[in-house]
Amino acid sequence: MKICDIKKVDGIAPEVFEYMNLKKHEKVIFCSDEESKLNAIIAIHNTNLGPALGGTRMWNYNNISEATKDVLRLSRGMTYKAAITGLDLGGGKAVIIGESNNKTDNMMRSFGKFVESQKGQYITAEDVGMTTHDMEIIFEQTNHVVGKPKKLGGSGDPSVVTAYGVLMGMKGSAYFKWGSDKLQGKKILIQGIGNVGRNLIELLIKEGADIYVNDVNANKMTTIQKKYNVKAIHDNIYNSNIDIYAPCALGGTLNEHTIPQLKCAIVAGAANNQLAKEYIHDDLLIKHNILYAPDFLINAGGLINVYSELKGFSESQVKEKTEKIFDTTIAILKKSEKEKISSQKAALKIAKERVFKTQSA
Ligand code: NAD
């Protein structure tokens, strides 16, 4: 297994270094293991508030530069997610380059050794393309993993709590926009019916919402329609007649092409980095009179859940902490209105104050 610091890697695009310096990343580490076919990157953005915690994403990136940019963006988001949620954690993230169907337990063991090499400065968890079973295998090699199965003393699948937090953020946004947090009869589109999306459907059914779903995987759409009373949207989802759009797939879906098409009043979902350009598309949403619930604020339920593994929270304390997302969402939206800045900027301002005690990065 070869592990090296980015500072020793030749041929990485200079823009990666520029981004690291601009956004103040502490460290990026690369790992390549021929035997298990593991190619992975860990990015540690900031450890001012505690060890850097963030999930591992397995994705079929086109090249190393694309994977590096993703891990840098995602790790920074984790710093602010922990900060705004009031957790004593830093921000980090890992990516594994490859098709998740080709994953092996051997590869996960190798990844566990890679995590262990950081001696607890980085703690890993589950993200897209990873499962609770993978966490179990990684745990064979390192203690610095959370989101383990309950049978191993872990907190289990975090997506259940993530979905609950998204619901809280959605209800807080509805309260701010419409003066009521009731979602009954509201047309809500969930894009991505994976772990979080499926749990969100169940919660929104209890709220009496009118649910629409979309997923690139046609089989998932068919299965979900058989199980729940939801409507499927197959074609262009962005110009659908809906009240709330909940991105629960991948990031970057809020951009100059999609925002002008949106007819919804609120965007509130689980996906990380929903704004393709965070300081441009946040203002574009305002221009189109669309309320945006910052993703890193409302998708923090999973982080709260895995944090409980480190701090020994009970299930009821996790629920209580996750429910606070409702109040924080309203507070951020009020700040945004008062200071005439986007909700994204208002949320980042508060998070950065906690991390840096300044306004930079
Ligand atoms: P998942 O992999 O279980 O589900 C993602 C779903 O999105 C899949 O069904 C996939 O087919 C679908 N999808 C992918 N690209 C799509 C596209 N272009 N259009 C429509 N559907 C598409 O992932 P998840 O755990 O449900 O997480 C969803 C999002 O929420 C991710 O961005 C993740 O980073 C974020 N998130 C998840 C958690 C968590 O606890 N799982 C916590 C915080 C944030």
**Ligand 1, residues 89, 159, 240: which to mutate, most atoms within 8 A of Cβ?**
159
Q: Is 250 in the pocket of ligand 1 (CB under 6 A)?
A: yes
Give per-residue pLDDT as tens, 181-236.
999 999 999 999 999 999 999 999 999 999 999 999 999 999 999 999 999 999 88
- Band (pLDDT 50/70/90 cuts) for residue 292 is very high
Give per-residue pLDDT as tens, 141-175.
999 999 888 888 888 888 999 999 999 999 999 99
The stretch 292-307 carries a mean pLDDT of 96
229 CA to middle of ligand 1, Å?
A: 21
Q: Which of 71, 64, 89 is nearest to 23 (CA)?
A: 71
Hey, what are 29's tokens?
């580490």
Give per-residue pLDDT as tens, 87-104.
999 999 999 999 999 999
Which atom of ligand 1 lies nearest, measured to the CA of 74?
34
Q: Is 157 in the pocket of ligand 1 (CB under 6 A)?
A: no
What are the structural domains, with CATH classification, of the chain?
Answer: 2-81+89-152 (3.40.50.10860), 159-356 (3.40.50.720)
Given a cut of 90, whether residue 11 has pLDDT beyond it is: no
Q: How many CA atoms lie within 13 A of 246 on its CB side?
A: 37
- State the Cα–Cα distance between residues 60 and 16, nearest whole angstrom: 19
Give per-residue pLDDT as tens, 173-183.
999 999 999 99
Q: Is 200 in the pocket of ligand 1 (CB under 6 A)?
A: no
**% of the chain residues with pLDDT over 70:** 95
What 3-state DSSP class applies to 15?
helix
Which atom of ligand 1 lies nearest, measured to the CA of 162?
40
DSSP string across 188-244: EEEE--SHHHHHHHHHHHHHT-EEEEE-S-HHHHHHHHHHSS-EE--S--TT---SE
272 CA to middle of ligand 1, Å?
A: 9
11 versus 25: the higher-pLDDT residue is 25
The stretch 13-37 carries a mean pLDDT of 86
The stretch 25-45 carries a mean pLDDT of 95
Q: Is 194 in the pocket of ligand 1 (CB under 6 A)?
A: yes
Q: What residue owns the CA closest to ligand 1's atom 9?
A: 194
Q: Is 295 in the pocket of ligand 1 (CB under 6 A)?
A: no
Given a cut of 60, whether residue 8 has pLDDT beyond it is: no
In this prediction the pTM is 0.90
Active site residues: 93
**Ligand 1, residues 162, 198, 275: which to mutate, most atoms within 8 A of Cβ?**
162
Question: β-pairing, 2-5 with 27-33?
Answer: antiparallel
Instruction: Report pLDDT for 19.
Output: 81
